Structure 1
Amino acid sequence: MIEAPAARAWPKSEAESLPGKLIIVEGIDGSGKSTQLDLLHKWLVSQGYLVVFTEWNSSPIVRSTTKRGKNRRLLTPMSFSLIHAADFASRVHTQILPALKAGAVVLADRYVYTAFARDAARGVSRSWLRDLYSFAVTPDIAFHFDVPLDEAIRRITLSRAEIKYYEAGMDMMLSEDIMESFQIFQGRILDEYHRLTDEFGLVPIDATQTLVKQQQQMREIVQPHLADIERVEGGDLAEVLRHSGLRGRYLQQPVWAEASE
């Protein structure tokens, strides 16, 4: 059996007192993490678990501000960091904590490690970033989908018509050529992820394996953490969560299907 290494906890983590489970995925663009999280999501729902999904930079409170800053190219590395921290804080208190208190399995597409990697790659102090996100709940499992830079870039160029300005790190003036800047910047982020894997005990997944193999590894690691999680047989999961005080667009209507092992 594959076991997840213990993640380093923040000093004030509430994780031990919460009945739910927090499972997160990380990786550079093109790593395939979102695809694998979606497959895990569908499997968990088919098994009858309460599942709540949240993703990076999705809080309606700061979304318009972030979009405006990006469109006008006004964001500095520090302001970029602070605005994403505001987004994360909003989601922690309106989505993640209520769901964990309700006993749900929370799946997060990117977590604080995205800020640790991207912002550090932009030159923001690593220790300052740890302090900024010290309120975060420690995840039960944090997966890092590790993929070579050249493979990630190949996937990105095949699936997208263009690379975005900040995604390419153009604000860092690494190169006047957007693709070259993208390669340099994403390489820095990948280096930071390898640092974080050692520091926080992220669970590495070889993202060059087949989709089936990656999903099998995820489920094998996740399964032992579900022993104490209550299942709902044949009910409306969203309605159950609402009875626990949860509201919002992040509630996922279940799709009942046979489990695929």
Structure 2
Amino acid sequence: MIEYRTPYPVRVDASPAPTVSRALWLVKWLLLIPHLIVLVFLWVAFWVVGVIAFFAILFTGRYPRSLFDFAVGVLRWSWRVHYYGYGANGTDRYPPFSLAEVPDYPAHVDVAYPGRLSRGLIFVKWLLAIPHYLVLAIFVGGGLWLGTRGGSDDAWDNGWSAGGGLVGLLVLIAAIVLLFTGRYPQPIYDFVLGMDRWALRVAAYTALMTDRYPPFRLDMGGSDPGSVPAEPLGPPPAGMPAAPPPAPSAPGADPPQ
């Protein structure tokens, strides 16, 4: 039997900058205040949208497309702020105030719109994700935190905060190294991106945006495996169309210095 690798529908990408400022990270907390104020309101709206989506999926089996696009936009905006700030410190380019995809910004999130969603899974996704919470609590901690609580109804909550956990500590270490050497350690960058990607996958799953269970897999580095078409582990069966050619590489993919 031939096994096929299917990319996860939540894709998180980042393009490392050729150079990152030695000292800008010391004041990014101040520069990010306008974004953090906006994100407070966006995450409240995200929660409200999630409640509406819960009942829409329960009765129709579908996540309303306009609400889905808004939810993706909130994740996208949050990831750009996180990548610029203390969740990665991966770029000096200030994040745009936009829910839409910004192709030339170095941080990207995309979630494939599901045709139909399980009515039953909406009651237990928060429970099924507990093993992921345990992993993220250790590695990410307060750095990129998705809280899910409540019973088998719409009483679930999502939150985002900056800093904390092993990821926050590693970003701080990388920033200190950057301050004195002008170089961002590549192994730290790859690991941080892998854990942030893991957390965003779990966030989208528990926010009812996909039925695909998040993989227990650390996809390190800036390029998400889902950003290019999946390749089969063997020849496709008769009648199955060949996979499209891989997408072109994102600009600025050189490792940070």
Give me the TM-score of the superposition, normalised by structure 1. Answer: 0.29
Greater per-residue helix proportion? 1
Identify, as 1 or 2, the structure richer in strand: 1
